Structures are given as C-alpha cells and as structure tokens.
Amino acid sequence: MAEVLLFHHALGLTEGVSAFADELRRAGHTVHVPDLYEGRTFEDLEAGAAYAQEVGFDVLTERGVRAADSLPRELVYAGFSLGVLPAQKLAQTRAGALGALLLSACVTESAFDRVWPEGLPIQVHAMEEDPFFVDDGDLAAARELVSDAEDRELFLYAGSAHLFAERGSASFAPEATDVCVGRVLGFLAGLKA
C-alpha cells in the first residue's frame, strides 16, 4: 500500500478533500492531509484564492514542504489545484518520491528549477473545459510534462468545473470523480516502492 501526502485547494481543508482522502484510506493507503490554511476554510474560490494570495503562494508551498519533513521519503505527492504547488515541488525536488497525482492544476517543470525525475510516474486529472486549467496554462504544462513518457498520464473529463472532485460543492461531478478515483487507486496499486 502507498503512503500519500495530499494537499488541499484554495478553499482549505474541506470535507470534500477529507472525503477524497478517506476513499484512498478505505483502499488501504495511508494518507496525510496537512492544513496549509491553519484552520481556515472558504465557501467560494475567489475568497480562498484571495486568502492564498494574501498569505503568499511561496509561503503556502513552503508549509507543504515542511509538512513532509517528518514523513518518510517514499511518498506519493498529491494536490488539488493550489495544493499542486507543494505536491509538484516535492515530487520534483525531494529524493525518494514514488509518484505524483495532480488534480485541477499543473505547473511547468521549470517552476522548480528541475526537470521531472526520470521514471517518476504521474497522473494529471482535470476537466477539459475548466477555464482555470485551460486558460491559465495548466493544460499546456500538463501536456508538456506527460509527453513522450509512458509512466506519465493526463486525463481530461467532460465538463468545466474546476474542483470537480469536491464532494458537497456545487462543482462536484460525481461521474468524473468516480472515474478519477478509480484511476488514482489503480495508479497507487501499481506503484513499486
């Protein structure tokens, strides 16, 4: 079974993020979900993004990096939207990573001054018409990251919701989430420590 460090999105550590983590736990995986917002949650994406900007994306990313300090090196790093920043940074820069799961976001490899580690598997999941993912350059970054590598995959789902896997929210897309969770569980089951 895999050990996963999962980072929340701009709404904070919501019940939806916890529910996703619980699905992975029910399959036997160990999942750590640090609270980068120190107890704050938000009802809408604009308010959460404004808070993230106020705190600073670098500060939030470093909180995520510090959350890994007490954990083993052999981790799968996962993140939703904003949480992709620390997840991707750790996957690219911390030795021992087993894989990465990026949901609703992806940044360019050059953002962390390192190329993607050879042989490190990754899945990127997003909705094909999500304006944040498509218009902000995440889709292009994801396509570049997964190109020419069999162990790197990009999955696009029909729809435009940004936080499509956020159970209990208006953007929740149950069918896409079920397929996504199935793919994530398959990914985790196939990893070799």
**pLDDT of the residue at 148:** 82
Angle of the 57-67 helix axis to the 84-93 helix axis, nearest 10? 60
Give me the DSSP letters along 29-57: -EEE---TTTT-B-SSHHHHHHHHHHH-H
**pLDDT of the residue at 193:** 63
How many angstroms separate the CA atoms of 54 and 44, rounded? 16
Reported pTM: 0.97
Quote the domain boundaries for residue 152.
3-189
How many angstroms separate the CA atoms of 187 and 107, rounded? 21
Q: Which helix (H) or strand (E) holds 76?
A: strand 76-80
CB 125 within 8 A of CB 102: yes
> pLDDT (tens digit, 0 to 9) for every residue of the chain, 193 residues total?
999 999 999 999 999 999 999 999 999 999 999 999 999 999 999 999 999 999 999 999 999 999 999 999 999 999 999 999 999 999 999 999 999 999 999 999 899 988 899 999 999 999 999 999 999 999 999 999 999 889 999 999 999 999 999 998 999 999 999 999 999 999 999 997 6
Query: Count of domains in the chain?
Result: 1
**pLDDT of the residue at 5:** 98
DSSP 134: H
DSSP 166: -
Whichever domain contains 166, its CATH number is: 3.40.50.1820
